[in-house]
Structure 1
Amino acid sequence: MTTSVRTQTPRQRPPRGAAPRLGALVEKALGGPLPLRLRAWDGSEYGPGGGPVVVLRSRRALRRLLWEPGELGLAEAYVTGEIDVEGDLAQGLRLMWRAAREGALHPPKLGLGDRAGALASAARLGALGPRPPVPASRARLSGALHSTTRDRAAISHHYDLSNDFYRLLLDETMAYSCGYWAEGTADPEDGDTAEAGRLAQRAKLELICRKLDLGPGSRLLDIGCGWGSLTLYAAAEHGVKVTAVTLAAEQAAHVAAEVAARGLGELVDVECRHWRDITGGGYDAVATVEMGEHVGDAEYPQFTAALHGLVRPGGRVFVQQMSRGSVAPGGGAFIETYIAPDMHMRPLGETIGLLEGADLEVVSVQSLREHYVRTVGVWHRTLEERWAEFTALLGEETARVWRLYLVGGALAFAEGRMGVDQIVCVRRAADGASGLPADPVRWYTVGGTDTGNAGFTAGGPDTGDAA
């Protein structure tokens, strides 16, 4: 008779440290494996290797997420430095979005027992405690939504940050909107250069002038003129008479100083006022470049009616505006809290419907979504290359806000969750005529002399071409 001896496999001990315990907790909440590696404050790690590493520098990061779960809490932990990312931040965000989009993460319905267990784990990890202070860079607005006072505060939060900051981030055009990367613009493997970005911005300004049929003596209303890139270009290069309107005091001061320095005082008037307070009319063209996102949802019909009333019959209206996908959230909690408070984006089709509802005929729509990926890429590259200057100017926290904004924004445009479009409208004349050229492709390439604007060739504003 033989006896068998059963050998027992020693029980494998679970990995020690905060990161494995936290990782297991997060995976249970997400319903799937972590797509990124975690490193906790005690040096322990958990999750897949070979990619970016999320570093939790203190227990305060967990406490912040308990008080503010989701995107906003994660963003605030990042901008305060409680969470950091070693490696490519964009790749880390991309992996998280991909895991969610492809269905790898399916958050389960957690029962009372699950929640109690999670709370006990949080207590063992030292995450319980008072709510961490709100970061100083967070927007603080009061008053009725889209009242003149609140709109001024919202615009000031973003655009009055510092003219020195925007000079550092942007090129000399001070164009803070999507550039136009015309065919032939270099796209080296190591990324677009600041000079390529400058050419893309000049190409965008020229394209707008052509789409609006601007020439010497034309009257242009530039609503939300920013730092005057379109205003100054139209006046200096095409002899246009421009009324530039902005609600940001820093922007108005900058544009006025540039007008004086360039000797354009006879062509340009600068007004610091709300769009609802614009008076007059009969303009040959009205432009609004990435300003409509700040108007508000309920207020947009009034805005489109104002566009119709400000342009003369037979004149053109140009709208360059961000959009969101039909099921995408738009800017999201972080951008709408830290960058552009009270902003509202809608799908492109809804904006077109609102313009048509104001009796403006939409005659051209051009997507620049992928152009924005490259535009934001140049800004982000500048931020990283001159990081010490930005932190000295703004402080570490605000610089990190902008890093997260630029990286996350570029990814949203790359993946189609956000878009940006150029929309050209006409206010038809009494006989129904639009005044458009028979072949609008000439907006992009017109026979004549090379203008030096990243792929454009044109004969200039006095060639007699309709656009």
Structure 2
Amino acid sequence: MTTARPVRTGAAHRLAALAATALGGPLPVRLRTWDGAEAGPVDAPVVVVRSRRALRRLLWQPGELGLAQAYVTGEIDVEGDLATGLRAMWAATRERRLHPPRLTLAERARAARTAALLGAAGPPPAPPASQARLRGVLHSRSRDRAAISHHYDLSNAFYRLLLDETMAYSCGYWASDAPEFGAADAQRAKLELICRKLGLVEGARLLDIGCGWGSLTLYAAERHGARVTAVTLAAEQAAHVREQVRERGLGDRVDVVCQDYRDITGGGYDAVATVEMGEHVGDAEYPAFAASLHRLVRPAGRVLVQQMSRGTVAPGGGAFIEAYIAPDMHMRPLGETVALLESAGLEVRSAESLREHYVRTVEAWHRTLEERWSDVVRLVGEETARVWRLYLVGGALAFDERRMGVDQILAVRPTADGHAAMPATQQDWYTGLAEL
């Protein structure tokens, strides 16, 4: 008696075959489609394709951007832990050398026929509302302002939900592994470390370029007695910092300016800090940015740059990041940034990797997002909440797997005779950070 082979029908099997062709290897996740069909390895994370619209979107926009669009709109979801699903895809890319979709005309035609059979043919769906739409010349003042506004002007209320009490939106410094040492402690340790590296004393003049919600500005003024000029392009951030300055009685120590860094005049600052702002400057514009850092700080003054790094692949962070989070962002390897700072006349004295610290920082933000999910959705909507879930989960993985890094670079502007006024050792920078 001959046993009939099971006939594999359903959308999932057709899509799995298409995906295997596009990826150049077996699909590393399991698919479940809108008709209830499933295909793929049984012990793998399950990707749920909820509608034919997702297939149509991927037909017109294959690759990372199409997948991201389908995810943030809810047309595609991951059952269970999103990080597990993304990790499986990245592992397959590394180990099996799967390639991004570069479909031939024949493969595109076959995909179109499959879409038609599944009832998914049609014009390209409109991009999600949360996707950035920038116009104008790259890194012109108006476009840079729009790019910064897209991400940082989402609303102060949203960032208050997501961030800890310091409102620091940058990598923390996890100076302790004690269970009670949390995200706010890590941020305070980072702020104190920056102030120590910059050698801030009572009355020192600090320029904080890209001040965010003022965490460094306020800390330096309150804890170290610095006189701070805080600069940001984001109107929401400037309003928040000004409110905090009034509430804390720091009006005689802090000046908040909403402007482009290229418009900063004057100079002679004792210290200049720029914390995760340099990524937004642009590749071609970075030499002029480094020259501005040199111009703005006095001889023997110090400059601290905390900045994310990346290799030559996807220097903007990838299609999703560039479309939804940080349009026009540019990252480079640490060595290239060091060379640019030195070419501007600064002497780099220290470079410290914080890559593992960012994994813990982003994971803390993600936990907060999930814990406050219903509040986030009420405030910014389901689509934007899903953008942030994908962003934070993917970001933690990128740092964990060394596809991205972040570093604190300390430089000094030497005097004409080479004097740098730097301490002989660095041990005092780190003493007692866990006890702040």
TM-score, scaled relative to structure 2? 0.97
What's the offset of the Cα at 1:288? 0.1
Which one of 178, 185, 188 corresponds to residue 177 of structure 2?
185
Q: Distance in 1 between matches of 2:63 and 2:378?
A: 30
Q: 1:66 to 1:355 in 2, by over 3 A?
A: same
Which one of 50, 70, 93 corresponds to residue 77 of structure 1?
70
Q: Which residue of the partner structure matches residue 167 of structure 2?
A: 174
Q: Which residue of the partner structure matches residue 190 of structure 1?
A: none
Q: Distance in 1 between matches of 2:67 and 2:140?
A: 30
Contact map agreement 1:328 1:418 (CA 8 A) in 2: no
Which one of 277, 280, 294 corresponds to residue 294 of structure 1?
280
3-state SS in 1 of match to 2:182: helix
Tell me the amino acid that sits aligned with residue 45 of structure 1.
Answer: E
Q: Which residue of the partner structure matches residue 341 of structure 1?
A: 327
Tell me the amino acid that sits aligned with residue 392 of structure 1.
Answer: R
Q: Distance in 1 between matches of 2:106 and 2:31?
A: 26
Q: Which residue of the partner structure matches residue 276 of structure 1?
A: 262
Query: 1:129-168, aligned counterparts within 5 Å?
Result: 129-168=122-161
Q: Which residue of the partner structure matches residue 318 of structure 2?
A: 332
Q: Distance in 1 between matches of 2:334 and 2:109?
A: 45
Tell me the amino acid that sits aligned with residue 117 of structure 2.
Answer: R
Query: 1:67-466, aligned counterparts within 5 Å?
Result: 67-103=60-96, 105=98, 113-182=106-175, 184-186=176-178, 196-327=182-313, 329-445=315-431, 453-455=433-435
Q: Which residue of the partner structure matches residue 39 of structure 1?
A: 32
Q: Distance in 1 between matches of 2:99 and 2:247?
A: 59
What's the offset of the Cα at 1:110? 6.3
3-state SS in 1 of match to 2:20: helix
3-state SS in 1 of match to 2:271: strand
3-state SS in 2 of match to 1:173: coil
Tell me the amino acid that sits aligned with residue 185 of structure 1.
Answer: D
1:408-431 Cα shifts (integer Å, max 9, x gaps): 011000000110000000000122
Contact map agreement 2:59 2:112 (CA 8 A) in 1: no
1:272-298 Cα shifts (integer Å, max 9, x gaps): 000000011000000000000110111
Tell me the amino acid that sits aligned with residue 133 of structure 1.
Answer: A
Contact map agreement 1:225 1:244 (CA 8 A) in 2: yes
What's the offset of the Cα at 1:117? 3.0
Contact map agreement 2:315 2:330 (CA 8 A) in 1: no
Share of identical aligned residues, percent? Answer: 73
What's the offset of the Cα at 1:326? 4.4
Q: Distance in 2 between matches of 1:112 and 1:366?
A: 48
Q: Distance in 1 between matches of 2:412 and 2:331?
A: 23
Larger Rg: 1
Q: 1:158 to 1:349 in 2, by over 3 A?
A: same
1:302-347 Cα shifts (integer Å, max 9, x gaps): 1000000000000000000000034454511111111111111111
3-state SS in 2 of match to 1:126: coil
What's the offset of the Cα at 1:154? 0.7
What's the offset of the Cα at 1:107? 7.2
Q: Distance in 2 between matches of 1:66 and 1:373?
A: 34
Contact map agreement 1:224 1:289 (CA 8 A) in 2: yes
Contact map agreement 1:51 1:87 (CA 8 A) in 2: no
370-379 or 10-19, larger mean C-alpha shift? 10-19
Q: Distance in 2 between matches of 1:422 and 1:35?
A: 37
Tell me the amino acid that sits aligned with residue 264 of structure 2.
Answer: I
3-state SS in 2 of match to 1:251: helix
Q: Distance in 1 between matches of 2:422 and 2:102?
A: 57
Contact map agreement 1:94 1:411 (CA 8 A) in 2: yes
Q: Distance in 1 between matches of 2:395 and 2:362?
A: 8
Q: Distance in 1 between matches of 2:421 and 2:101?
A: 59
Q: Distance in 2 between matches of 1:185 and 1:261?
A: 33
Q: 1:70 to 1:111 in 2, by over 3 A?
A: closer
Q: Which residue of the partner structure matches residue 3 of structure 1?
A: none
Report the RMSD for the aligned CA atoms in angstroms: 1.6
3-state SS in 2 of match to 1:454: helix
TM-score, scaled relative to structure 1? 0.90
3-state SS in 2 of match to 1:425: strand
What's the offset of the Cα at 1:17? 1.1
Q: 1:246 to 1:107 in 2, by over 3 A?
A: closer
Q: 1:337 to 1:116 in 2, by over 3 A?
A: closer
Tell me the amino acid that sits aligned with residue 177 of structure 2.
Answer: T
Tell me the amino acid that sits aligned with residue 418 of structure 1.
Answer: M
3-state SS in 2 of match to 1:422: strand
1:27-67 Cα shifts (integer Å, max 9, x gaps): 12222211111000001111112342100000000000011
Q: Distance in 1 between matches of 2:313 and 2:148?
A: 27
1:86-138 Cα shifts (integer Å, max 9, x gaps): 11100100100110111253579866554433332221122210111211101
Contact map agreement 1:185 1:455 (CA 8 A) in 2: no
